[in-house]
Amino acid sequence: MRKSGCRLVLCLVLLVFMGVQFMYYTTFASDGPIVSGVKTAVLQDRLGRIHPVLTYFKRKHDDGSYVDVSNQQEDAKIPEGNYIDKAVNSTAELRVSPEVIANGDEVGVAWRGIVYPTQYDWIGLYCPRDGKPTNYLDYYYVKDVPSHWRTNGKFSVQVYNLRSSCEFRYYSVHKEDLLLLARSNELKFADGVEAPLQGHLSLTGHDGEMRIMWTTGSDATPTVRYGLSNDLLNYKVTGTSKTYSSNDMCGPPATVPRNFIDPGFTHDVLLSKLKPDSRFYYQFGSGDSWSKIYSFQTPTIIGSKDTFKFITYGDMGLYAPGVPRVVELVMNEVKKGAKFAVHQGDLSYAGGYAYLWDQWFSTIEPIATSIPYMVGIGNHDQCHLIGGGKDPSKVKGNGFHPPWGNHLDDSGGECGVPPHYHFHMPDNGNSLWWYSFDYGTVHFIMISTEHNFTAGSLQYKWLEKDLSTVDRTVTPWVILAGHRSMYCSADIPPDYQVSEHMQSSLEELFYKYKVNLAVYGHYHLYERTCPVYKQRCDQHGTVHIVAGAGGVGMDGVPSKGAPWSKFYHSQIMGYGRVTVVGDTELRWEYVSVEDGSVIDKTVIKR
């Protein structure tokens, strides 16, 4: 059985051992094709649907659904055999154009002169270009390319800079041999390994500071140039760099060599003593390779009663057309003055396939280089069943697996490693798992619902201390975010059990310290409660919002009904917009991705 199949069997054994009601949450499809003599099993999500991990090219089936690279039934299409990497067809040609591109540009791939094509001929992408034959990033069967005509054809794809040059290869399958018929010309990226990629800003929680991070293939000294004018970047600050390997992650598929891509180096530079409420222009890089010039607005002074807005959503990934539309509308919000974005978990949905992190960072870069991009951890970023000693959150054991929970292996063995290395959130908690910061009149808290939050746990103690020390004369509003929801009426029983335990564990803290608003994801839907306490509307309770419709797709499940549920919609993708009006009002709006209209709103007053 292949490694991914072994991983699923191991998950079953461990879950049965822990007493988790696995079959109530997850089912297996066992009627798939036989691959290499072994009948395959497909892990399904909590709604009984396959949750696909996208291929590099985001390939789709004829019905429009995404091909799932983690599914043996689909990813095993390339026949196994002996790779013969000596071109045997002198007439075959394979070309890619243009030859030098920027990150995420589209390239054309054309071939001709194939003398004896077969139905199994395929073209694969290799980055780096000298990669092993089995280490293709993705492929197309030639017969599935609409423009192909037996001996020739062409297609276009987006290619992302993975800090190396690339090439395409044409293979033809003859019995048990995979014959290399042609290799393309070299595909290069502007600035090569030094290209500054994946830029993003973050807040530190301190006045006059902004953190800038990015990635390159080199550990050359990271530098940020900045100033008050885009033609005079007269200040310069250097920072630190770090990287990780597949051995740092907890298990497969993230640790499988073919799935792991060298992430390069993540660079971290802190700007301080910045003039408040001012626009600064900046670029980042090193040596001769620099980003374009971006700009950001410095944070509002803590305690300032100036009105400001921020954006919040969860559960994004790379799914089209939802994600591009979310990015487009959030960029419109940025142009209208939104100060920062909060992404409450389930970031890239990489599932252990590293190229999806590179693609996701490229997708959010327009937002994240314009305003601070604050993140939390979701189940698809964190949950794992093995390799706990490598979990960078430094919790004991193999993660949080209470008998009443459904915390499985949703990260594909990543156990929070990629986001931990790529994001630097405020340092007053536990990296990006739990932390807090002040902005204007708001004290903002991020928690991890993928870690122990019950009374007596490390996170609970931290949260209680953080809430107890909030100065409500300076920051009268307290807004909390996490991935799984404390209140949601979606008719999904296993998730509802987690919500009930969140209530029994955390609601007294929320009520005692008057948390005004709590925002979550996880459910791919939208729901708003009244101010609620102990399942009843209470004017002193917390308003809970589920906004997990940031692009990945909608759950489409009905509500089981609840007196505290005031607005429920499981079909409309969107994001939240919060307007903080000094110390008097919090205005919440849910914006539809379909047409940008506000489909629900409420006002919280002090």
What's the rounded Cα separation, in Å, for the pair 537 and 541?
Answer: 7
Q: Note whether 352 and 396 are same-domain residues.
A: yes
Q: Is residue 76 part of a domain?
A: no
How much is the average pLDDT of 381-409?
93
Q: Is the pLDDT of residue 560 over 80?
A: yes
Query: Model confidence over 329-365: pLDDT tens digits?
Result: 999 999 999 999 999 999 999 999 999 999 999 999 9
C-alpha triplet 523, 358, 447: angle, nearest 5°: 40
- Read off the pLDDT of each residue in 432-444 and give the average, rounded to a whole number: 98
The pLDDT of residue 9 is 40
Q: Are 375 and 492 in the same domain?
A: yes
Same domain, 181 and 329: no
- pLDDT over 90 at 435, yes or no: yes
For 2-6, 79-83, 499-503, 563-567, which range has the lowest pLDDT when averaged over its residues? Answer: 2-6
Identify the CA nearest to 516 among candidates 571, 570, 441, 461: 441
Q: What is the pLDDT of residue 77?
A: 62
Q: Residue 154 domain-assigned?
A: yes
In a domain, 194, yes or no: no
| pLDDT score of 5 more than 90 | no
Q: Is residue 74 part of a domain?
A: no
The pLDDT of residue 231 is: 94
Q: Would you give the distance in Å from CA 183 to the centre of its chain? A: 33
Q: Residue 126: inside a domain, yes or no?
A: yes
Which of 268, 298, 328 is a domain's end point?
298
- Whether residue 80 is predicted with pLDDT greater than 80 in this model: the reply is no
Residue 554, pLDDT above cutoff 80? yes
Predicted confidence at residue 553, as pLDDT, reads: 87
Angle (CA) 574 277 467, round 5°? 65
Task: Of 22-36, 165-179, 216-230, 546-560, give the lowest mean pLDDT range.
Answer: 22-36
Are residues 528 and 403 located together in one domain of the fold?
Answer: yes
Looking at the fold, whether 108 and 214 belong to one and the same domain comes out as no
Q: Determine the average pLDDT of the residues in 197-218.
A: 97
Last residue of a domain, one of 68, 97, 114: 68
What burial letters (b/e) apply to 116-140, b meaning 16+ CB within 10 Å? ebeebbbbbbbbebebeeeebbbbb
Q: What pLDDT, on the 0 to 100 scale, is given for residue 606?
A: 87
Token code pair at residue 258: 């073919």
CB-based contacts of 298: which residues, under 8 Å, 6+ apart?
208, 210, 274, 275, 276, 277, 278, 279, 280
User: Quick one: CA torsion of 139, 143, 146, 152, rounded to 10 degrees?
Assistant: 90
User: How far is the CA of 457 from the CAs of 68, 183, 461, in angstroms?
Assistant: 37, 56, 6
CATH number, domain at 89? 2.60.40.2840
What element of type H or E holds 417? helix 417-422
204 in any annotated domain: no
Q: Tell me what pLDDT residue 34 has.
A: 23
Indicate if 94 and 51 belong to the same structural domain.
no
pLDDT score, position 146:
84
Per-residue pLDDT tens digits for 159-172: 999 999 999 999 99
Mark whether 401 and 538 lie in a shared domain: yes
Q: Is the pLDDT of residue 382 over 90?
A: yes
Banded model confidence at residue 47, pLDDT cuts 50, 70, 90: low
Considering the domain architecture, whether residues 112 and 231 belong to the same structural domain is answered as: no
Do residues 235 and 308 share a domain? no
Give the model's pLDDT for residue 40: 27
Q: For residues 389 and 489, state if they share a domain.
A: yes
pLDDT greater than 60 at residue 569 = yes
pLDDT tens sequence across 295-322: 999 998 999 999 999 999 999 999 999 9
User: Are residues 311 and 433 located together in one domain of the fold?
Assistant: yes
Which residues, 6+ apart, have CB-to-CB distance to 579 below 8 Å?
307, 308, 309, 585, 586, 587, 589
The dihedral region occupied by 387, where left means phi > 0, alpha psi between -120 and 50, and beta the remainder, is left
pLDDT score recorded for residue 193: 85
* For residue 15, pLDDT beyond 60: no
In a domain, 77, yes or no: no
The model's pLDDT over 84-115, given as tens digits with 9 standing for 90+, comes to 887 667 789 999 999 999 999 999 999 999 98
Domain that holds residue 98: 82-189
Total count of domains within the chain: 4
pLDDT digits (tens, 9 = 90+) for 107-145: 999 999 998 888 889 999 999 999 999 999 999 999 888
- Give me the pLDDT at residue 41, please: 31
Residue 70's pLDDT band, with cuts at 50, 70 and 90, is confident
Residues 6+ apart with CB under 8 A from 521: 313, 314, 315, 344, 345, 346, 378, 483, 485, 546, 547, 548, 550
Longest dimension (CA), the chain: 79
Q: Does 20 score more than 80 pLDDT?
A: no
pLDDT digits (tens, 9 = 90+) for 171-200: 998 888 899 999 999 999 998 888 999 999
Q: What is the 3-state secondary structure (H, E, C) of 333-392?
A: HHHCCCCCEEEECCCCCCCCCCHHHHHHHHHHHHHHCCCEEEEECCHHHHCCCCCHHHCC
Mean pLDDT of the chain, nearest integer? 90
Q: Which of 135, 158, 189 is the last residue of a domain?
A: 189
pTM of the model: 0.91
Phi, psi of 346 (to 5 degrees): 55, 80
31 and 115, same domain (yes or no): no
Residue 398 sits in a domain whose CATH number is: 3.60.21.10
Using an 8 Å Cβ cutoff, are 24 and 68 in contact? no
Residue 132 lies in a domain: yes
d(CA 501, CA 354): 33
